[in-house]
Amino acid sequence: MLSKRDIRLVASLIFFLIAVLISKIDGKKTSQNANQNESETTQSKEYATSHKVTRVIDGDTIELENGQKVRYIGIDTPETVAPNKPDGCFGKDAANKNRELVENKYVRLEKDVNETDRYGRLLRYVYVDNIFVNDYLVRQGYAFAVSYPPDIKMQELLQNAEKEARENNRGLWGMCGIKNRESSESGK
């Protein structure tokens, strides 16, 4: 029998797949069809290709076999590698969970709008097996949902995941005495 958590995870995945299908159908109806199809083809190729993760840098950043670093879109985990800053509460737990989920595994990457961040890291949604990693980390309380427009395609889903984690005192919400993301940053 599936637990409530498993049912929610499956429901989130189904919601995501439906949203992708709807966006593809709607996208083909726009007047910018040629440009969008080219972009979708490039993105579909990237999404269809698996990339091996060779190193987990922290809870929201990984390194691929080709040396590229990938920053997860829409989430932020407490710091563990920032120079001259103490580790954030639950940061090592987030890094360890990320390691458990993706290290030495093949992941699928999905781009939103921006290719890279100011540090040159790829910005991507990350999937391993049937798990949307960004969502999983937020929903289980390892990460905060954050928005950096224009990369906001999954913003609502991730915000709902954070609300669920917070209401159920999962992860950092239960262990760190955090009421919201702002109160966590004042303690860093």
pLDDT tens digits for range 58-86: 999 999 999 999 999 999 999 998 777 88
Q: What is the CATH number of the domain that holds 40?
A: 2.40.50.90
Beta-carbon-side half-sphere exposure of residue 111 (alpha carbons within 13 Å): 17
| CA 175 to mean position of chain CA atoms | 21
**Which amino acid does the sequence have at 112?**
D
CB–CB of 133/91 below 8 Å? no
Q: pLDDT at position 36, please?
A: 46
- Residue 24 to residue 17: CA distance in whole angstroms: 11
Give the pLDDT mean for 152-159.
Answer: 98
The runs of H, that is alpha helices, within 103-140 are 133-139
CA-CA-CA-CA dihedral for 147, 125, 160, 179, to nearest 10: -60
Q: Is the C-alpha dihedral spanning 160, 166, 170, 175 positive or negative? A: positive
Considering the chain, what percentage of its residues have pLDDT values greater than 90?
63
Strands (E), the chain: 50-58, 61-64, 69-72, 75-76, 106-110, 122-128, 131-132, 144-145
* Residue 99: closest CA among 134, 62, 132, 140: 62
Considering the chain, what percentage of its residues have pLDDT values greater than 70?
72
Indicate whether 54 pLDDT > 90. yes
CB–CB of 166/173 below 8 Å? yes
CB–CB of 70/109 below 8 Å? yes
What 3-state DSSP class applies to 4?
Answer: helix
Give the pLDDT mean for 2-13.
Answer: 68
Give the pLDDT mean for 116-134.
Answer: 97
* Residue 161: closest CA among 134, 126, 124: 134
Q: Which domain holds residue 144?
A: 4-186
Q: What is the CA radius of gyration of the chain?
A: 17
Please state the domain count of the chain.
1
Confidence category of residue 139, pLDDT binned at 50, 70, 90 = very high
Catalytic residues: 71, 79, 121
